[in-house]
């Protein structure tokens, strides 16, 4: 008599999920997302687009930091490279958007090789600060290479069209971002179950041991940088499509730190965590705004004078409390729920 | 020679700020393994607290510092107990992110309490120009240089010769072994934060006197990162020296090459140095065993 | 399905408002949006700006509103970050349904919001960032009030050249490395070319710099004695403080940001009686009248925050209100824009030169007045009244 859960082929072992229920719910989620533009207002739609762009960026960063263990504070720089490449190609060279988006990704990947090579010997926080240094330098170069990047004047992004649909308004932009987000998530999940993904995880866990076992550190670390930056640069390009005007002010350093916060709040190392973290942090300011306007009377002088600072403090407070009480991140809630569900009334 | 002398002298002054802030970073990293991303905000907060004290009590410079430093130590202790201590068993990365959240909170609090206008903060120092070896200085700038020298000397003496300093070095070298040898790791962590906050107070007050007190002072924390890395994350004396080096290099780059290179000169330097010495000039290499 | 939804929404909207024409207009109120710097280090600028809208709205509402409708100001924060400006304006348009926009933060922020403004034909008054990038090319619904930095600096340098030029004049400029700095340099270039004086040195610095030691050392080396100071707030104060340390005898022409009391307090210790060029009044009977009027609509705390930034938005909202008033009961965006285009010689009570938008660039208030600070007494006095340059 056969009992238990047997996996009889490699395909079954590395399948993303062996549960039909999981696939069914995923289908429902995607269906809901596809129908969403017809059910929500325009402002909520722009929020969703921002959240999806954050998801793409987070998935990219997760490959570098969560999977390979290379802490990077230079995401603002890669976002800027992607956004500017897309903007310049669309506006100055009039390339169609289905060329400029991948080109933005390739530009990000090339820049990341330049960033990755000096970083190969570095570990931990030294690596983080080096990537921070590169973000500063990239911003500086963008500002001073005036003939190419219009320097401080910024670049207007218009004219992104696909099959005659303007891609920068409402639902069209939403579907583009949704498609790319789903593609990025599946790409990341798939990479994780190949030999490349296993090599990355080995590097994260103990890179000397990985080297001893024959994994070429240089090749895989650079590959991590390249893949991660490709995805992040595409996120930057989508950002430029959404806000329609790029300028280095948009890519302040704070973005890098926010990106890292997304990964850690979501749960370091898992793609699902990155997605959850991105959605959570994207909606946090709105949630705080809602809570504050119900708790404090909007017409009181306390509100009008101090509400902006209070919102900022609330943002930081949520992050700190979260990390204090749930250092596993948002994905920890899910894992706890799963464990509780399958083990109750036993503890383990 | 005149021009070069001016550049080097002012480079040393700005480098002194970097050095002081970097020492704060290094001290906390050395004892707890955490990079305190809220160090810049701590510098800013203590500077503003000092400003309020100066206005309320009308103190001149040295008494003001004598009052500010203990208060900032208390602030450091409170922050450590509230935020870091409960997270002791979590991965280092989470604690680092908690300091990022703390930084956001502190920034908001400063603007909430003191407003966002930039303020003048003479702190009782004379404002006339003095000349040393033919180079003009403000007394506040000389104070800054003096403070760096004094704090570096104190740090060296402390870490080398006092029991608490030796205990800190022990905790930095191997926390478990230190615990087994009877060192109260808990107290060392608190002490690290308190001392770091004290140094931050000195840095903050002197920076505000020299360059105005404004709610974007926290950015100096980020600008001091090259100094921290160049010196090695866990070398306190190294951080101080590296600060001076970075300050001078930045000024020379801006003076002779221009093009806004001052902003990125520090970062370029550390990228180059790290390629040769991956743990900074004076940092200790992490020996990993398989 | 989508068409059905929007028809349903339109029907619901028109059921709740008797006048369901353009958004933001109901029988009792008009919603005016304001996107501003309410958080971050530049927040005190944004607060001053928002005060202007608030005072103007208070004054207009106290006088009965615009054809019986009261003005309601809706403020959103953008923290000086362009992508947040875009989001803030999206929220104001989609959720709050504003009729017009008065209060637009910085240049990059306006440019980031421009696609939304043009798409919605939103009447917009740009008063805090009168950059050429905004009216070149001119956008149909955007009206700019203010002189360019270029004119402001030219005016000051001209005064120095005509009245107090040192014997061997060497001019120098230090400015930010962005579009604002470019405009400052344009004014400097014009002055230097016209006066035929020695152009000592031109320096750029990155926004946010506080340490100007290297730059001022270069200035001293070049022997500069007439300085075009393109720094703002603490930056400008630090530049002057470095100059004093190096014992430089200079006359300084500064950005209008140095005309607010906070900046004067910061820069005065350096002891230079610097000049400021501005398109609104810094001192004089007009300012006294304004403060007396504003007392009724602000708390004492807020009154202390009144500065030239308040005046510019006040003028902006008054111009907008004047145009809306002329449209009468049937208030639409198209009508407002049309009336704004025909605005000529609108009196602002002496706070600025009379406002006239009837030119192709829809630009007004380009007349600059020059003031000088008395560093010891922390008071400004007028040197030259409003004049076109």
8 Å CB contact of A245 and C5: no
Q: Note whether C135 and C257 are same-domain residues.
A: no
For an interface test with B, the pick among C41, C216, C221, C265 (most B C-beta atoms closer than 10 Å) comes out as C41
Strand pairing partners for A162?
A: A165
Q: Note whether C250 and C196 are same-domain residues.
A: yes
Chain mean pLDDT for chain A: 88
Chain mean pLDDT for chain C: 87
Cα–Cα distance for residue pair C124/C163, rounded to 1 Å: 39
Give pLDDT tens digits for C278-314.
999 988 889 999 999 998 888 888 888 888 999 999 9
Domain segments of chain B as ranges = 2-276
Q: Note whether C199 and C263 are same-domain residues.
A: yes
Give pLDDT tens digits for B259-280.
778 888 989 998 888 888 888 8
Q: Nearest-5° angle of CA A306, CA A310, CA A311?
A: 120
Give pLDDT tens digits for A179-192.
999 999 999 999 99
8 Å CB contact of A261 and B105: no
Query: Is a pLDDT exceeding 50 seen at residue C8?
Result: no
Is C133 part of the contact surface with chain A (CB cutoff 8 Å)?
Answer: yes
Give pLDDT tens digits for B225-262.
899 989 988 889 999 999 999 999 999 998 888 777 88
Subunit partners of chain A (3 or more CB pairs within 8 A): B, C
Confidence of residue C14 (pLDDT cuts 50, 70, 90): very low
SS3 labels along B128-193: CCEEECCEEECHHHHHHHHHHHHHHHHHHHHHHHCHHHHHHHHHHHCHHHHHHCCCCHHHHHHHHH
Strand pairing partners for C30?
A: C25, C71
Confidence of residue C58 (pLDDT cuts 50, 70, 90): very high
pLDDT of residue B1: 59
Q: Which residues contact A210 (CB under 8 A, 6 or more apart)?
A: A199, A202, A203, A217
In a domain, A33, yes or no: no
In a domain, C245, yes or no: yes
In a domain, C186, yes or no: yes
Q: Which residues contact A335 (CB under 8 A, 6 or more apart)?
A: A328
Subunit partners of chain C (3 or more CB pairs within 8 A): A, B
pLDDT of residue C19: 45
**Selected residues 1-30 of chain B with any CB under 8 Å from a CB in chain A:** 29
pLDDT of residue A304: 66
Query: Is a pLDDT exceeding 60 seen at residue C3?
Result: no
Name which of C5, C39, C82 is nearest A245 (Cβ-Cβ): C82
Query: Is a pLDDT exceeding 70 seen at residue C328?
Result: yes
In a domain, A238, yes or no: yes
Confidence of residue A164 (pLDDT cuts 50, 70, 90): low
**Selected residues 149-188 of chain C with any CB under 8 Å from a CB in chain B:** 177
Confidence of residue C13 (pLDDT cuts 50, 70, 90): very low
**Selected residues 86-105 of chain C with any CB under 8 Å from a CB in chain B:** none
**Selected residues 200-239 of chain B with any CB under 8 Å from a CB in chain A:** 222, 225-226, 228-229, 233
Phi, psi of C25 (to 5 degrees): -115, 125
Confidence of residue C9 (pLDDT cuts 50, 70, 90): very low
Range of the domain at C333: 2-147+285-358
pLDDT of residue A302: 62
Determine the average pLDDT of the residues in A76-100: 91
Name which of B106, B259, B267 is nearest A133 (Cβ-Cβ): B267
Q: Note whether C82 and C157 are same-domain residues.
A: no
| Domains contained in chain C, number | 2
In a domain, C54, yes or no: yes
**Selected residues 136-155 of chain B with any CB under 8 Å from a CB in chain C:** 136-138
pLDDT of residue A2: 64
Cα–Cα distance for residue pair C171/C103, rounded to 1 Å: 35
CATH topology of domain B2-276: ABC transporter involved in vitamin B12 uptake, BtuC (1.10.3470)
In a domain, C63, yes or no: yes
In a domain, C364, yes or no: no
B11 neighbourhood in chain C, CB within 8 Å: 213-214
Range of the domain at A96: 40-343
Q: Which residue of A has its CA nearest to B112?
A: A309
Confidence of residue A22 (pLDDT cuts 50, 70, 90): confident
Which DSSP state fits C258?
Answer: G
The least confident of C6-10, C41-45, C217-221, C274-278 is: C6-10
Give pLDDT tens digits for C148-192.
999 999 999 999 999 988 888 999 999 998 888 989 999 999 999
Name which of C39, C115, C206 is nearest A308 (Cβ-Cβ): C39
Distance, in angstroms, between C123 CA and closest chain B CA? 30
Chain mean pLDDT for chain B: 89
Q: Note whether C291 and C260 are same-domain residues.
A: no
CATH number assigned to the domain comprising residue C158: 3.40.50.2300
**Selected residues 22-61 of chain A with any CB under 8 Å from a CB in chain B:** none
Q: Report yes or no: A188 and A271 within 8 Å, Cβ to Cβ.
A: yes
Q: Is the ipTM of this complex over 0.90?
A: no
| Domains contained in chain A, number | 1
In a domain, A200, yes or no: yes
CATH number assigned to the domain comprising residue A185: 1.10.3470
Query: Is a pLDDT exceeding 90 seen at residue C213?
Result: no
The total of other beta-carbon atoms located within 10 Å of residue A317's CB is 17
pLDDT of residue A220: 95
Q: Which residue of B has its CA nearest to A115?
A: B271
Q: Note whether C233 and C381 are same-domain residues.
A: yes
Is C206 part of the contact surface with chain B (CB cutoff 8 Å)?
Answer: yes
SS3 labels along chain A: CCCCCCCCCHHHHCCCCCCHHHHHHHHHHHHHHHHHHHCCCHHHHHHHHHHHHHHHHHHHHHHHHHHCCCCCCCHHHHHHHHHHHHHHHHHCCCCCHHHHHHHHHHHHHHHHHHHHHHHHHCCHHHHHHHHHHHHHHHHHHHHHCHHHHCHHHCEECCCCEECCEECCCHHHHHHHHHHHHHHHHHHHHHHHCCHHHHHHHHHHHCHHHHHHCCCCHHHHHHHHHHHHHHHHHHHHHHHHHHHCEECHHHHCCHHHHHHHHHHHHHCCCCHHHHHHHHHHHHHHHHHHHHHHHHHCCCCCHHHHHHHHHHHHHHHHHHHHHHHHHCCCCHHHHHHHHHHHHHHCCCCC
For an interface test with C, the pick among A40, A242, A247, A306 (most C C-beta atoms closer than 10 Å) comes out as A247
Give pLDDT tens digits for A274-314.
999 999 999 988 888 888 888 877 666 666 667 778 888 88
pLDDT of residue A228: 96
In a domain, A148, yes or no: yes
Confidence of residue C34 (pLDDT cuts 50, 70, 90): very high
The least confident of C9-18, C46-55, C260-269, C349-358 is: C9-18
Q: Note whether C8 and C120 are same-domain residues.
A: yes
Q: Report yes or no: C333 and C141 within 8 Å, Cβ to Cβ.
A: yes
What percentage of residues in chain B have a pLDDT greater than 70?
Answer: 100
Is B94 part of the contact surface with chain A (CB cutoff 8 Å)?
Answer: yes
In a domain, C363, yes or no: no
Q: Report yes or no: B228 and B281 within 8 Å, Cβ to Cβ.
A: no
Structure-block tokens of residue B262: 């001052």
In a domain, C252, yes or no: yes
The least confident of B64-68, C29-33, C325-329 is: C325-329
For an interface test with A, the pick among B101, B232, B269 (most A C-beta atoms closer than 10 Å) comes out as B101
For an interface test with C, the pick among B15, B129, B212 (most C C-beta atoms closer than 10 Å) comes out as B212
Q: Note whether C320 and C259 are same-domain residues.
A: no
Q: Which residue of A has its CA nearest to B230?
A: A126
Is B88 part of the contact surface with chain A (CB cutoff 8 Å)?
Answer: no
Is C96 part of the contact surface with chain A (CB cutoff 8 Å)?
Answer: no
Q: Report yes or no: B21 and B224 within 8 Å, Cβ to Cβ.
A: yes
Give pLDDT tens digits for B167-205.
998 988 888 899 899 999 889 999 999 999 999 999 999
What percentage of residues in chain B have a pLDDT greater than 90?
Answer: 46
A302 neighbourhood in chain B, CB within 8 Å: none
């Amino acid at each position: 008599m056969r009992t238990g859960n047997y996996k009889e082929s490699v395909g079954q072992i590395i399948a993303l999920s062996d549960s039909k229920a999981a696939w069914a719910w995923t289908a429902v989620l995607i269906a809901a997302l596809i129908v969403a533009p017809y059910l929500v207002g325009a402002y909520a739609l722009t929020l969703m687009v921002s959240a999806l762009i954050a998801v793409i960026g987070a998935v990219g960063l997760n490959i570098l930091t969560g999977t390979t263990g290379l802490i990077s504070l230079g995401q603002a720089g890669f976002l800027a490279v992607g956004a500017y490449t897309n903007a310049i190609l669309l506006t100055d060279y009039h390339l169609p958007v289905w060329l400029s988006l991948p080109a933005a990704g390739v530009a990000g990947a090339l820049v990341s090789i330049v960033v990755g090579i000096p970083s190969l010997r570095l570990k931990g926080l030294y690596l983080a600060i080096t990537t921070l240094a590169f973000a500063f330098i990239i911003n500086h170069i963008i500002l001073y290479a005036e003939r190419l990047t219009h320097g401080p004047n910024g670049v207007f992004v218009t004219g992104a069209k696909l099959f005659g649909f303007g891609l920068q308004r409402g639902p069209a932009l939403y579907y583009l971002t949704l498609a790319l987000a789903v593609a990025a998530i599946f790409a990341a999940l798939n990479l994780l179950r190949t030999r490349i993904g296993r090599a990355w995880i080995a590097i994260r866990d103990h890179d000397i041991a990985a080297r001893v076992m024959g994994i070429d550190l240089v090749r895989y670390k650079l590959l991590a940088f390249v893949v991660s930056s490709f995805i992040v640069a595409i996120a930057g390009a989508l950002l430029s499509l959404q806000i329609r005007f790029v300028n280095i002010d948009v890519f302040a350093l704070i973005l890098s730190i926010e990106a890292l916060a997304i990964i850690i709040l979501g749960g370091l190392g898992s793609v699902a965590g990155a997605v959850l973290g991105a959605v959570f942090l994207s909606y946090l300011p709105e949630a705080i705004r809602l809570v504050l306007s119900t708790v404090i009377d909007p017409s009181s002088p306390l509100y009008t004078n101090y509400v902006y600072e209070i919102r900022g403090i609330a943002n930081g407070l949520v992050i700190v409390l979260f990390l204090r009480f749930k250092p596993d991140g948002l994905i920890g809630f899910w894992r706890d729920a799963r464990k509780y569900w399958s083990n109750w009334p036993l503890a383990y | 020679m005149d021009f070069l002398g001016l550049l080097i002298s002012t480079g040393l002054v700005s480098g002194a700020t970097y050095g002081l802030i970097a020492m704060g970073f290094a001290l906390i990293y050395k004892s707890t393994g955490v990079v305190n991303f809220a160090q810049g905000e701590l510098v800013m907060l203590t500077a503003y607290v000092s400003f309020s004290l100066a206005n309320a009590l009308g103190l001149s410079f040295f008494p003001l510092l004598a009052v500010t430093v203990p208060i900032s130590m208390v602030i450091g202790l409170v922050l450590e107990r509230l935020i870091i201590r409960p997270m002791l068993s979590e991965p280092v990365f989470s604690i680092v992110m908690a300091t990022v959240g703390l930084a956001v909170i502190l920034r908001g609090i400063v603007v909430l309490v003191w407003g966002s206008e930039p303020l003048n903060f003479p702190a009782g120092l004379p404002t006339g120009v003095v000349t040393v070896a033919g180079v003009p200085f403000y007394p506040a700038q000389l104070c800054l240089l003096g403070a760096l020298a004094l704090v570096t000397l104190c740090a060296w003496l402390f870490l080398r010769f006092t029991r608490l300093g030796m205990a800190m070095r022990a905790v930095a070298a191997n926390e478990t072994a230190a615990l087994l040898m009877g060192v109260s790791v808990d107290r060392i962590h608190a002490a690290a934060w308190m001392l770091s906050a004290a140094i931050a107070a000195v840095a903050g007050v002197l920076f505000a006197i020299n360059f105005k007190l404004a709610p974007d002072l926290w950015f100096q924390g980020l600008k001091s990162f090259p100094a921290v890395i160049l010196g090695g994350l866990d070398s306190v004396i190294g951080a101080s020296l590296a600060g001076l080096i970075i300050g001078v290099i930045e000024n020379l780059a801006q003076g002779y090459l221009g093009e806004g290179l001052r902003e990125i000169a520090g970062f370029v330097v550390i990228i180059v140095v790290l390629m040769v010495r991956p743990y900074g000039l004076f940092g200790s290499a992490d020996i990993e065993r398989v | 399905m989508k068409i059905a939804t929007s028809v349903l929404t339109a029907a619901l909207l028109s059921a709740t408002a008797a006048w369901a024409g353009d958004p933001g207009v109901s029988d009792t109120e008009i919603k005016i949006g304001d996107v501003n710097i309410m958080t971050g280090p530049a927040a005190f600028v944004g607060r001053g700006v928002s005060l202007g809208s608030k005072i103007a709205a208070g004054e207009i509402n106290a006088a009965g509103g615009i054809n019986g409708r009261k003005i309601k100001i809706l403020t959103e924060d953008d923290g000086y970050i362009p992508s947040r400006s875009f989001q803030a304006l999206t929220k104001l348009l989609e959720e709050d349904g504003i009729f017009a926009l008065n209060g637009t933060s910085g240049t990059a922020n306006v440019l980031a919001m421009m696609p939304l403004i043009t798409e919605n034909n939103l009447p917009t008054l740009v008063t805090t960032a009168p950059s050429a990038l905004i009216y070149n090319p001119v956008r149909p619904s955007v009206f700019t009030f203010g002189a360019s930095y270029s004119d402001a600096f030219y005016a000051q340098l001209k005064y120095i050249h005509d009245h107090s030029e040192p014997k061997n004049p060497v001019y120098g400029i230090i400015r930010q490395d962005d579009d604002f700095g470019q405009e400052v340099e344009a004014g400097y270039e014009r002055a230097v070319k016209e006066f035929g004086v020695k152009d000592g040195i031109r320096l750029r610095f990155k926004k946010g710099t506080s340490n100007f030691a290297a730059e001022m050392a270069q200035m001293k080396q070049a022997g500069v004695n007439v300085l075009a100071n393109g720094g703002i707030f603490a930056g400008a104060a630090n530049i002057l403080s470095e100059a004093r340390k190096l014992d430089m005898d200079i006359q300084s022409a500064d950005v209008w940001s140095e005309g607010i009391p906070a900046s004067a307090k910061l820069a005065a210790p350096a002891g230079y009686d610097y000049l400021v060029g501005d398109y609104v009044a810094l001192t004089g009977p007009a300012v006294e009248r304004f403060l007396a009027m504003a007392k009724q609509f602000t708390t004492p705390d807020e009154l202390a925050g009144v500065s030239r930034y308040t005046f510019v938005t006040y003028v902006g909202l008054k111009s907008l209100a004047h145009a809306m008033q002329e449209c009468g009961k049937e208030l639409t965006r198209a009508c407002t824009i049309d009336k704004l285009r025909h605005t000529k010689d609108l009196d602002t009570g002496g706070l600025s030169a009379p406002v006239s938008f009837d030119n192709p660039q829809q630009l007004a208030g380009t007349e600059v007045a020059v003031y000088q600070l008395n560093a010891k007494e922390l008071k400004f006095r007028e040197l030259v009244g409003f004049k076109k340059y």
